[in-house]
Chains A and B, each alone.
Chain A
Amino acid sequence: MSFLQIRNLDKSFGATRILKDINLEIAEGGFLVLVGPSGCGKSTLLNCIAGLEPITSGDISIGGRSVAGLHPSKRDIAMVFQSYALYPNMTVAGNIAFGMEIRGVPKAERDKAIREVADMLQIGHLLDRKPSQLSGGQRQRVAMGRALVRDPQVFLFDEPLSNLDAKLRVDMRTEIKRLHQRMKTTIVYVTHDQIEAMTLATKIAVLKDGVLQQFGSPAEIYNNPTNMFVADFMGSPAMNLLSGTIERDVEGVKVSLARAHGEPLKLAISEPNGLAAHAGREVVFGIRPEALTDPDGADRNARSIVEGDCLIEVVEPAGSDTFAVTRLGGKEVTARLRADARIQAGQPARLAFNLDKAVFFDPQTQARIA
């Protein structure tokens, strides 16, 4: 089933291990996004797949064929670079055709391929220009054209949108998605932008310090982060992570969160799963802003909604929603309310906690406990 497979991949520069025992696989036609903060090793991993950097141990296979040790040009891949890497001395047409020229494809065939790709990307009128005469968005298209014309088994994208302005970035993101839906070619895509990752991917791999943190579908990554890093990294605004204590009494299991004023807020947990074992211990309670809302705006299908009063410190109307900042467990907590929710800074407000969506982490190991 898996088309691109990475097994036990290790990569070192001298004594430094850049990538540690990476295992990944993606089905044919899948869209794999490698995401993580800068320095996490995601671009190195992409370069290893491309063959631009040697791997220290492990294996990479594409379409059931091991490609480790193969020259980049023999791996049947195409790559779009962050800087686009357009050959400055060649025209757009020359850029697109360079690979074919090297492979000795006859001129007529090259011209035909150029025309097809140019039509697909609407860059036909740019073919005779040099890269320096193009705008950022146009360069991006040419870079994609150069990749498309190869008709490879796998496309590799290295932060392709990071040099574009915000508006163009969203447009190109949609365009890449549309292109993928049409071509159905496997894609590996590196980004540090978690929104890009969520919107594009069929599978996301979150990396940090050369270690794969979590690998799964966007929904899995978003709803069931395996550790605090993934929970914090994915989602905007970020998940609220606050310290609380698990308490167990006759009524059941509760999580107790310190409030800025008055008694701690105690939230009863209806399905405590493994949490009972942590009774009396400190945990990190994670809840996304959209799971913390005004009671009228709460998800009607949720099974476990608990309400509590919190002092609102700041109110940030954002048009479609209103964000409210309160303080729980000694930390700022963002709640996402309906746009017309009636709240005021400095006043307490009633907030609804959707505990279906709540997650718990061990503060020491940062791993998920429930």
Chain B
Amino acid sequence: MSAAAQDIATRNAVIARAIIYAVLILFAVYYLLPLYVMLANSLKPLDEIRQGNMLALPQEWTIAPWLSAWSTAQIGVQPTGLKPYFLNSVLMVVPAVAISTILGALNGYVLTKWRFRGDNIVFGLMLLSCFIPFQIVLIPSARILGLLGLAGTVPGLVLIHAVYGLGFTTLFFRNYYEAFPNELVRAAQIDGATFFQIFRRILLPSSGPIIVVTVIWQFTNIWNDFLFGSSFSSVDSIPITVALNNLVNSSTGVKEYNVHFAGAILAALPTLIVYIVSGRYFVRGLMAGAVKG
């Protein structure tokens, strides 16, 4: 560990540590504040927000904003709440994550254990695809979805998310399998195991951590996506992020801040739960996505 605790004059050290803790706590407050504001105000009646102080706890506790956000709030033209859109997101996320993770695992396996001439170019092109601004593929993607008859449908969004997640899932698995001993694959070959047997019996059982990392990464990214959702969905297939934005930015009627906050937390809940349950893997994914390897 690089923490350089030294035995300087103790008094100064105590003051220094007090300052360090004060700064750290101050920033903890900064990071928690928006979440607190959302939570506290989602449990207040609207008047209390307008009249009172956003930082105060509710005087009159109510879960009405949550119920409204979930099932009755006006989104677009329908007073459906976020429920159907939440469901759309689930229907979109699950297959997209599954498809991109499975393909990424197979790609990583081939790119590390069955190397061939030019494999680095293939990998380089897949890697680069992680970083393109998706604006550049919006127009042709809309076209191809139309041609496939998937425009404005949940399967269309699944396809798009699976395709544009491939680069990252391949990257994750490739880097993980790169460190997996080649000798194990060779031993299995001598034992007569086939391509898929080696994958299923030798690599896959050791892939738990990277599968978790990849699934969390893909889940978070796809759940939180707005660009594709807003570009390729129709009334029936709008994902939760887009619905939330519609809810908050609809110009008609009174601004129901408490409902907006409740809706925002609803939209954030799945990824927050994933983060709380498996933060370690979440961070590892972030790192792997950022600093490859």
- A contacts B: CB pair < 8 Å: yes
- Chain A residues packing against B (C-beta within 8 Å): 47, 50-52, 71-74, 77-79, 81-83, 85-89, 98-99, 102-103, 146
On whether the beta carbons of A85 and B189 are closer than 8 Å, the reply is no
Of the A-B pairs whose beta carbons lie under 8 Å apart in the complex, a sample of 7, sorted by A's number, is A73-B191, A81-B183, A81-B186, A85-B187, A89-B205, A98-B193, A99-B191
On whether the beta carbons of B189 and A98 are closer than 8 Å, the reply is no
Partner of A99, one of B181, B192, B202, B205: B192
Closest to B207 in A: A89
On whether the beta carbons of B206 and A89 are closer than 8 Å, the reply is yes
Whether A87 touches B197, Cβ cut-off 8 Å, given contacts A50-B190, A71-B189, A73-B191, is: no
Q: Please name all residues of chain A whose beta carbon is closer than 8 Å to the beta carbon of B187 when the two chains form the complex.
A: 79, 81, 85, 87, 146
New A-B pairs, 13, CB < 8 Å, besides A47-B186, A73-B190, A87-B184: A50-B190, A72-B186, A73-B191, A73-B193, A74-B192, A83-B181, A85-B184, A85-B187, A87-B187, A87-B188, A88-B184, A88-B205, A102-B197
On whether the beta carbons of B192 and A103 are closer than 8 Å, the reply is yes
Interface of B is mostly: helix
Q: How far is the CA of A71 from the CA of B183 in the complex (A)?
A: 16
* Per-residue A-contact encoding for B177-219, CB less than 8 Å = 1, 0 else: 0000101101111111100010001100110000000000000
Give min CB distance, B105 to chain A, whole Å. 16
Q: How far is the CA of A236 from the CA of B52 in the complex (A)?
A: 89
Q: Please name all residues of chain B whose beta carbon is closer than 8 Å to the beta carbon of A102 when the two chains form the complex.
A: 191-193, 197
Q: Please name all residues of chain B whose beta carbon is closer than 8 Å to the beta carbon of A47 when the two chains form the complex.
A: 186
Closest to B204 in A: A89
How many residues from B make CB contacts under 8 Å with A? 16
Partner of A52, one of B186, B193, B201: B186
Q: How far is the CA of A99 from the CA of B198 in the complex (A)?
A: 11
On whether the beta carbons of B183 and A87 are closer than 8 Å, the reply is no
Q: Please name all residues of chain B whose beta carbon is closer than 8 Å to the beta carbon of A78 when the two chains form the complex.
A: 190
Give min CB distance, A12 to chain B, whole Å. 13
Q: Please name all residues of chain A whose beta carbon is closer than 8 Å to the beta carbon of B205 when the two chains form the complex.
A: 88-89
Q: Please name all residues of chain A whose beta carbon is closer than 8 Å to the beta carbon of B191 when the two chains form the complex.
A: 73, 98-99, 102
Closest to A77 in B: B190
Closest to A104 in B: B192
Q: How far is the CA of A255 from the CA of B189 in the complex (A)?
A: 57
- Chain B residues packing against A (C-beta within 8 Å): 181, 183-184, 186-193, 197, 201-202, 205-206
On whether the beta carbons of B190 and A83 are closer than 8 Å, the reply is no
Q: How far is the CA of A77 from the CA of B188 in the complex (A)?
A: 13
Q: Please name all residues of chain B whose beta carbon is closer than 8 Å to the beta carbon of A88 when the two chains form the complex.
A: 184, 205-206
Q: Please name all residues of chain B whose beta carbon is closer than 8 Å to the beta carbon of A146 when the two chains form the complex.
A: 187
Q: Rank and list the top 4 A-B pairs by shortest CB-CB distance, nearest first.
A: A73-B192, A99-B191, A89-B205, A85-B183
Q: Please name all residues of chain B whose beta carbon is closer than 8 Å to the beta carbon of A77 when the two chains form the complex.
A: 190
Q: How far is the CA of A73 from the CA of B189 in the complex (A)?
A: 6
Q: Please name all residues of chain A whose beta carbon is closer than 8 Å to the beta carbon of B193 when the two chains form the complex.
A: 73, 98, 102
Give min CB distance, B176 to chain A, whole Å. 14
Q: How far is the CA of A51 from the CA of B192 in the complex (A)?
A: 12
Closest to B203 in A: A89
Whether A50 touches B186, Cβ cut-off 8 Å, given contacts A85-B181, A102-B193, A102-B197, is: yes
Q: Please name all residues of chain B whose beta carbon is closer than 8 Å to the beta carbon of A79 when the two chains form the complex.
A: 186-187, 190
Q: Please name all residues of chain A whose beta carbon is closer than 8 Å to the beta carbon of B197 when the two chains form the complex.
A: 102
Give min CB distance, A269 to chain B, whole Å. 51
Q: Please name all residues of chain B whose beta carbon is closer than 8 Å to the beta carbon of A86 when the two chains form the complex.
A: 184
Closest to B185 in A: A85
Q: Please name all residues of chain B whose beta carbon is closer than 8 Å to the beta carbon of A85 when the two chains form the complex.
A: 181, 183-184, 186-187
Q: How far is the CA of A85 from the CA of B193 in the complex (A)?
A: 14
Q: How far is the CA of A196 from the CA of B2 in the complex (A)?
A: 43
Give min CB distance, B187 to chain A, whole Å. 4
Q: How far is the CA of A72 from the CA of B181 in the complex (A)?
A: 18
Q: Please name all residues of chain A whose beta carbon is closer than 8 Å to the beta carbon of B192 when the two chains form the complex.
A: 71, 73-74, 99, 102-103
Q: How far is the CA of A73 from the CA of B186 in the complex (A)?
A: 10
Q: How far is the CA of A87 from the CA of B205 in the complex (A)?
A: 10
Give min CB distance, B181 to chain A, whole Å. 6
Give min CB distance, A52 to chain B, whole Å. 5
Q: Please name all residues of chain A whose beta carbon is closer than 8 Å to the beta carbon of B184 when the two chains form the complex.
A: 85-88
Give min CB distance, A191 to chain B, whole Å. 16
Q: Please name all residues of chain A whose beta carbon is closer than 8 Å to the beta carbon of B206 when the two chains form the complex.
A: 88-89
On whether the beta carbons of B202 and A87 are closer than 8 Å, the reply is yes
Q: Please name all residues of chain A whose beta carbon is closer than 8 Å to the beta carbon of B189 when the two chains form the complex.
A: 51-52, 71-73
Q: How far is the CA of A72 from the CA of B202 in the complex (A)?
A: 17
Q: Please name all residues of chain A whose beta carbon is closer than 8 Å to the beta carbon of B201 when the two chains form the complex.
A: 87, 98
Closest to B183 in A: A85
Q: How far is the CA of A51 from the CA of B186 in the complex (A)?
A: 10
Q: How far is the CA of A103 from the CA of B183 in the complex (A)?
A: 20
Closest to B208 in A: A89
Give min CB distance, B118 to chain A, whole Å. 12
Whether A82 touches B190, Cβ cut-off 8 Å, given contacts A88-B206, A102-B197, is: no
Q: Please name all residues of chain B whose beta carbon is closer than 8 Å to the beta carbon of A83 when the two chains form the complex.
A: 181, 183
Give min CB distance, A93 to chain B, whole Å. 14
Closest to A81 in B: B183
Q: How far is the CA of A79 from the CA of B192 in the complex (A)?
A: 12
Q: How far is the CA of A79 from the CA of B201 in the complex (A)?
A: 19
